[in-house]
Amino acid sequence: MTQKQTLGQILIQKNLICSEKIETALRIQTGSNRRLGQILIQMGLIKDEELFSALSDQHGIPITDLSGDIPKEALEKLPRYLCKRYSVIPLGIEKNNVLNLAMVNPLDQAARTDIETFTGMVVKPFLAKEKAVSHAIHSSMPITFNNLLHPLMYNRTLKYACLIILVLSVSLGFFVHRDMQLEKYGTLSGAGDLMVFSNHEMLIGVEGKGAISLIGHGPYAKGFYSVVFENVKELLTFVDEKKEVLTKQQYEWIQWVANENLPLKK
């Protein structure tokens, strides 16, 4: 039986590298689990395409570039999480229950065994670049509910879910806080020196250090009334005298406007 050529022998045979460079890379590989081809690429001794061509020749595995459309029936044979786990993607289905499979590492026997067990089909491997497989998974593989709950996808799903919940919580908190502020303090508008406070069916207007106008509607009075005061003290005296015809919210709001916001001395 003819012994299969090593990757180094094929690269030398193709005049892509010399034996001395192969020996140097092999020494670097010693004691690590890095692949020889990847080391040669990182050393700048060969290119991706050259490595792929050599690996294809070495193992008799055809190369695929994943540039075409993948049939839906093939994509449905494997879940997204399994494709991500093994860096594979289905290419098509042949007769006799054969699944054409693009693989970054066609020599991964564990991957082939798991996929054959999952699909009940015979895997026919094709060599593909890692970036091409990753892009094809993201662009072609559907995300199903089972994918989202799978441990390989769960952390990412949980991260996005937590982010969405956080954004919604912050938004809800903002709107609740805004509504509470409006309920307690009302609105403030104006232009230049004019300020107009509005809340609880009442308006308080003041321009600079001029007179203060109170316009409102009391729950125990008919229609609207308008009163003008020279200063804050007069406003507070009036409000204390008319406390019985104001709601608690109106009384407290006027007190707050007068004591905390009007730029006039009592």
User: Cα separation of 216 and 251, whole Å?
Assistant: 12
Q: What is the pLDDT of residue 29?
A: 85
Neighbour tally for 194: CB within 10 Å: 12
Q: Determine phi and psi for 231, rounding to 5 degrees.
A: -155, 175
Q: Determine phi and psi for 182, rounding to 5 degrees.
A: -65, -40
Q: What is the pLDDT of residue 112?
A: 92
Q: What is the pLDDT of residue 87?
A: 92
What is the sign of the dihedral through the CA atoms of 47, 48, 54 and 57?
negative
User: Cα separation of 190 and 193, whole Å?
Assistant: 8
Q: What is the pLDDT of residue 266?
A: 44
Neighbour tally for 148: CB within 10 Å: 16
pLDDT along the chain (266 residues), means of 10: 77 89 88 82 87 85 87 90 91 93 89 92 92 89 58 54 70 57 67 80 79 74 74 86 82 83 60
User: Cα separation of 73 and 29, whole Å?
Assistant: 41
Q: What is the pLDDT of residue 58?
A: 84
pTM above 0.85, yes or no: no
Q: What is the pLDDT of residue 101?
A: 94
Q: What is the pLDDT of residue 178?
A: 54
Q: What is the pLDDT of residue 238?
A: 86
Q: What is the pLDDT of residue 199?
A: 82
Q: What is the pLDDT of residue 144?
A: 61
Q: What is the pLDDT of residue 171?
A: 66
User: Cα separation of 43 and 45, whole Å?
Assistant: 6
